[in-house]
Amino acid sequence: MERNEVLRKLPKVSELLNEASIKALEEKYGRLAVLKAIRRSIDEIRCSLEKAFEKGFSNNICEEELKKEALERALELFEKYRTYNLRKVINATGVVLHTNLGRAPLPEEALKNILEVASGYSNLEYDLDEGTRGERYAHVRELLCEITGAEDAMVVNNNAGAVLLVLSALAAGREVIISRGQLVEIGGSFRVPEVMAQSGARLVEVGTTNKTHIADYERAINENTALLLKVHTSNFKFIGFWSEVKIRELKSLGLKYGIPVMEDLGSGVLVDLTKFGLPPEPTVQESLEEGADIVTFSGDKLLGGPQAGIILGKREFIEKIKRHPLTRALRVDKLTLCALEAVLKIYSSGEPERIPVIRMLMKSPQEMEKHARRLAAELQRTIQGKGTVEVIDDVSQVGGGSLPGVELPTKAVSIQLREVGPDELARRLRMARIPVIGRIKKDRFLLDVRTMTEEDLKTASEMVGSVL
């Protein structure tokens, strides 16, 4: 067959518009929406035919078949255009702060507040008492100070931004002393030495990889020293022969030479994690109490709030930071502030277990057992003898570069199918209407109930049913 002869057999837009399935969609969603899918579908088929011709392929092609394919593709594309690209997935990986899956889920109060404030106008930068221009940070400053004991506070887009901003404002063109053991890469290309170079501050590394002493810092101090910096090693853990200098010691040294001390805590822990059976983690309050002049941390790691970079500390430094031009470039938006204020109010009311991240970390073995049994029973019904479903003991991780190496005992439901391998099942579930992300261990596909809500249990088994 000739190239043009084949291309003439492609269905016309008007033909597809006459199809019953398209007409039904048009009635519901309008002509524009269906036209986009139809045109794209025909284009895609034309392209693949052209490519086939280039390769010398010239089979007989029937008009009816082309039309059928174009229709199917148009319906698929329509569905794709109609759903959002960024959308809900079920996190059945057991990793509580999964950076690829959006880190911290927000508590309901935060969502309500976003809806209430962002669907209309707000006093974002308006002082209602005075009727004059206000500051966006004012909405969370008091809560942050009350909870942490800080003198002053501000918030930017994320913690990487917070570190860059503080170093730029307080140390550009000068020296910052940091231990060699803390020159870490956090992931997503955040490397402490690189961020420092970007800020214009000069890095002065002291000590060795595993041990740094206060005398190492003292020897490096000169008239050009702007900051003593401590960075939480986050996703990286030392074991064996190692030690680092405490903030308290750095502060004494700082006082002696008149140099401020900064700590980048990474994960902003506001509560004592040992109460939930987790290993101790330095809290924001402790860092400030020990004397840190500036503390930075993320809003969406162990704090359990929206993506944000929180900067706390002495008023004179916060004031100086606010005046730096980068503050405007890294400015926090109103949706974030709505969510953050709601989350901070929960901390302030002394009920951190109402925050999803905290709730998942402290989920009891009994509750997980109950949820795993319920999920297993639903799945058993769903797969109807196509394989086996089992509740097993396993461990989940905190994730997000927080508490590395900590293993939380958990319950998972394992699915083994006779006809579908674990990789294929994982792939199909990623493509489901509501994607379900699990993990594979020893050739089994696992759904970890730690990170699943009660609603997720039901949805996940529906999705398994839909892909089999």
Ligand X SMILES: *Cc1c(COP(=O)(O)O)cnc(C)c1O
The residue ranges that bind ligand X (CB under 6 A) are 158-160, 163, 186, 190, 231-232, 234, 264, 266-267, 298, 309, 401
- Closer CB to ligand X, 45 or 167, in the complex: 167
Least Å distance, CB 286 to ligand X, is 16
Least Å distance, CB 65 to ligand X, is 51
Amino acid at 288: L
- Closer CB to ligand X, 235 or 416, in the complex: 235
- Closer CB to ligand X, 235 or 459, in the complex: 235
CB atoms closer than 10 angstroms to residue 453: 16
- Closer CB to ligand X, 11 or 299, in the complex: 299
- Closer CB to ligand X, 153 or 436, in the complex: 153
CB atoms closer than 10 angstroms to residue 9: 16
- Closer CB to ligand X, 282 or 465, in the complex: 282
Q: Which two tokens stand for residue 268?
A: 């902003």
Q: What is the number of the residue whose Cβ is closest to ligand X?
A: 266
Least Å distance, CB 434 to ligand X, is 26
Least Å distance, CB 353 to ligand X, is 23
- Closer CB to ligand X, 183 or 440, in the complex: 183
Q: Is the distance from CB of 270 to CB of 240 less than 8 angstroms?
A: no
Least Å distance, CB 233 to ligand X, is 7
Least Å distance, CB 308 to ligand X, is 7
Residue 235: exposure state from Cβ atoms within 10 A (0-12, 13-18, ≥19): middle
- Closer CB to ligand X, 254 or 309, in the complex: 309
Least Å distance, CB 163 to ligand X, is 6
Least Å distance, CB 235 to ligand X, is 7
- Closer CB to ligand X, 201 or 231, in the complex: 231
Least Å distance, CB 45 to ligand X, is 43
Least Å distance, CB 310 to ligand X, is 9
What are the CA-CA distances from residue 171 to residues 225, 228, 259, 321 (Å)? 8, 10, 11, 11
- Closer CB to ligand X, 191 or 256, in the complex: 191
Least Å distance, CB 401 to ligand X, is 5
Three-class SS string for the chain?
CCHHHHHHCCCCHHHHHCCHHHHHHHHHHCHHHHHHHHHHHHHHHHHHHHHHHHCCCCCCCCHHHHHHHHHHHHHHHHHHHHCCCCCCCEECCCCCECHHHCCCCCCHHHHHHHHHHHCCCCCCCEECCCCEECCCCHHHHHHHHHHHCCCEEEEECCHHHHHHHHHHHHHCCCEEEEEHHHCCEEECCEEHHHHHHHHCCEEEEECCCCECCHHHHHHHCCCCEEEEEEECCCCCCCCCCCECCCHHHHHHHHHHHCCCEEEEEEECCCCCHHHHCCCCCCCHHHHHHCCCCEEEEECCCCCCCCCCEEEEECHHHHHHHHCCHHHHHCECCHHHHHHHHHHHHHHHCCCHHHCHHHHHHCCCHHHHHHHHHHHHHHHHHHHCCCEEEEEEEEEECCECCCCCCCCEEEEEEEEEECCCCHHHHHHHHHCCCCCEECEEECCEEEEEHHHCCHHHHHHHHHHHHHHC
- Closer CB to ligand X, 22 or 330, in the complex: 330
